[in-house]
Amino acid sequence: MLEKNSFDVLIVGAGFAGMYALHRLRSLGFSARVVEAGSDLGGTWYWNRYPGARCDVHSLEYSYQFSVSLQQQWSWTEKYAAQAEILAYANHVAKQFDLRKDMQFSTRVKTMCFDEEIDTWIISTDSGEEFRSRFCIMATGCLSKPNFPDIKGLEDFKACLLHTAIWPKHEIDFSNKRVGIIGTGSSAIQAIPLIAEMAKSLTIFQRTASFSIPACNGLLDKSYEQEIKSRYPEFRKENSQRYAALNNNPNSVSAVETATDARNSVYEDRWQRGGLPFLASFNDLATNVEANNTAVEFIHKKIQEIVQDPDVAQRLCPHTVLGCKRLCVDTNYYQTYNRDNVQLVDLNSTAIECVTESGIKTSGAEYELDYLVLATGFDAMTGALLDIDIRGVDQLRLREKWRNGPHNYLGLSINGFPNLFMITGPGSPSVLANMIVAIEQHVDWVADCLNYMRKNTLTRIQATVVAEQNWVDRVNRIAAKTLFPTGCNSWYVGANIPGKTRVFMPYLGYPNYVDYCESVATNNYKGFGLS
Ligand code: NA7
């Protein structure tokens, strides 16, 4: 009999990772409980309800594959699903697998302490509740801690302040309102066209221009859906053998070795098809500046063709390496700058001095606003984990351990923090792979590991110091072969958060990563100490 609040596994987070972890572990006979800060499940898709919120991965790929019947029965409406439909899918899954009965909502984990005597985590929440669990699975998400910019006077703003990452559940009526938005990353690029259609005026405060490719979204082609469903397992397998576990049609030809006209017609074709596959136009875009520049030039030209005011077009042209920040995917983003009610403020020439009670004051002007939208992103990959006071062996604090970057093994396990697993943690492909594919791979690996431990009556597992250091070196070595770690100040390296140590966090190359994880498991969990 289980003691109340005592489980084999405590799972923190009820997004796609927590949901699948619960299902998988329960099917193996482990007792598990999910604890979630939000008032319901869905993770990213629960919180990010801003107008235009939508996935940038094809619907037939951004879904679970663990259940054959689930992936056959669910039908998506559009090529790129909108937030509401993805949340409906999450709810459908929860219902089908009866997940809610082992989930607890509106509960934020505050502290986690490892009791070395009994190899058990003691977890406490914001309501003072305490849990005990041999294992913990941190399904806390890569982009779940909103970044609030440190702008003077933000707390003085008397009208309505919104953040894209914690958008209210009710609809916001922007009609006849003066709206300001800070940020021009993916969230802003999705929200801007729709807010501009509703609002009286929209002022966009841009610090760094982003590259965006048209989504070319539309209703999902039924014959394509049928074709994929007739060979779903093979389709999934093919994708899992690709660099980012996506069906992005990689071109094995070099951009620099291709003549200009031929090269531009490849870019044109990818632009017309839309979306993230643009990054796979040539095989050297990630590694060769000259090659990357050819894609940059192509996109600049597109922006200049679309945006009528040459000054505005100029300010919208990014001058960073393409791909070193998450490539944005839009519907009518650049076109929106041709509207009379939209203006772009370049913060590099006129910086924000402060937020006032009624708007924003820059070094050049004052803007009166009824709504101020922060589209300022996240403390990515480590933020949500470090928000919890996690203490491992000898009371070592995770915040202390990660002072110089998120050292860990496989993006799954941290030396000094036994029996704690991260799902899509830093050091794993995570955000540079299809997230749901990466989640399922991690959950399956952890589930197999816990099963192995149970069979062998083991109660403690943790990464060794050596394995951890070798892994950190490996992640850095692979990243250093690309332009990404140094090509711009992105959240991939933590550069969007003042004071955060600059480290390239994702592991590049999904198939190679999976092989490594499998070899660790088949070699009796090489690199881990088990007792
Ligand atoms: P992003 O991509 O991190 O974008 C945040 C934006 O906010 C970006 O343009 C930032 O400019 C800007 N920002 C952040 N802080 C400030 C301050 N203090 N002043 C002005 N501008 C600021 O977050 P998103 O939510 O758009 O997207 C996150 C991911 O979600 C995305 O990559 C997809 O994977 C889904 P900066 O570039 O830092 O100069």
Burial class (CB in 10 A: 0-12, 13-18, 19+), 312: middle
Residue pair 325/331 in contact by the 8 Å Cβ criterion: no
Mean pLDDT, the chain, rounded, equals 97
Q: What is the pLDDT of residue 4?
A: 79
How many angstroms is it from 374 CA to the middle of ligand 1? 9
Whether residue 59 has pLDDT greater than 60? yes
Whether residue 277 has pLDDT greater than 70? yes
Q: Which of 520, 517, 519 is nearest to 530 (CA)?
A: 520
Assigned fold of 6-41+99-145+380-530: FAD/NAD(P)-binding domain (3.50.50)
Whether residue 136 has pLDDT greater than 90? yes
Verify whether ligand 1 is closer than 6 Å to residue 381 (CB atom): no
Whether residue 3 has pLDDT greater than 80? no
Whether residue 1 has pLDDT greater than 80? no
Q: What is the pLDDT of residue 271?
A: 98
Considering the chain, what percentage of its residues have pLDDT values greater than 70? Answer: 99
Give the Cα separation of 82 and 71 in Å (integer). 18
CA dihedral 445, 451, 454, 455 (to 10 degrees): -120
Q: What is the pLDDT of residue 438?
A: 98
CA atoms within 13 A on the CB side of 242: 23
Supply the DSSP symbol for 60: T
Stretch 460-480: mean pLDDT = 98
pLDDT by residue (tens digit) across 283-293? 999 999 999 99
Give the Cα separation of 225 and 246 in Å (integer). 16
Residue pair 39/62 in contact by the 8 Å Cβ criterion: no
Q: What is the pTM for the complete model shown?
A: 0.97
| Neighbour tally for 255: CB within 10 Å | 22
Give the Cα separation of 97 and 22 in Å (integer). 10
How many angstroms is it from 184 CA to the middle of ligand 1? 6
Stretch 187-193: mean pLDDT = 98
Ligand 1 pocket mutation, candidates 144, 148, 154, 186, criterion most atoms within 8 A of CB: 186
Q: What is the pLDDT of residue 236?
A: 98
Pairing of strands 120-125, 109-115: antiparallel
Give the Cα separation of 64 and 21 in Å (integer). 12
Q: Atom of ligand 1 at shortest distance to CA of 189? A: 26
Angle made by CA atoms 305, 306, 312, in degrees to the nearest 5: 95
Task: Tell me, letter by letter, the H, E, C secondary structure of 36-66.
Answer: CCCCCCCCHHHHCCCCCCECCCCCCCCCCCC
Q: Atom of ligand 1 at shortest distance to CA of 186? A: 26
Residue pair 316/354 in contact by the 8 Å Cβ criterion: no
Residues in contact with 183: Cβ distance below 8 Å, sequence separation at least 6, in sequence order: 164, 205, 206, 207, 374, 375, 376, 377
Pairing of strands 130-138, 6-12: parallel
Residue 362: strand, helix, or coil: strand
The structure tokens 């913060």 sit at: 347
Give the Cα separation of 349 and 165 in Å (integer). 27
Whether residue 52 has pLDDT greater than 60? yes
- By alpha-carbon position, which residue is closest to atom 3 of ligand 1? 377
Question: Per the structure block, which two tokens stand in for 352?
Answer: 């924000």
Ligand 1 pocket mutation, candidates 143, 435, 496, 502, criterion most atoms within 8 A of CB: 496
Stretch 382-387: mean pLDDT = 98
Residue pair 19/99 in contact by the 8 Å Cβ criterion: yes
User: 238: part of which helix (H) or strand (E)?
Assistant: helix 232-240
- By alpha-carbon position, which residue is closest to atom 32 of ligand 1? 326
Q: Which of 242, 261, 258, 259 is nearest to 250 (CA)?
A: 242
Stretch 299-307: mean pLDDT = 98
pLDDT by residue (tens digit) across 66-124? 999 999 999 999 999 999 999 999 999 999 999 999 999 999 999 999 999 999 999 99
The structure tokens 């017309």 sit at: 272
How many angstroms is it from 492 CA to the middle of ligand 1? 11
Give the Cα separation of 44 and 165 in Å (integer). 8
Domain positions in the chain: 6-41+99-145+380-530, 154-221+253-374
Dihedral (CA of 253, 254, 255, 259) sign: negative
Whether residue 2 has pLDDT greater than 70? no
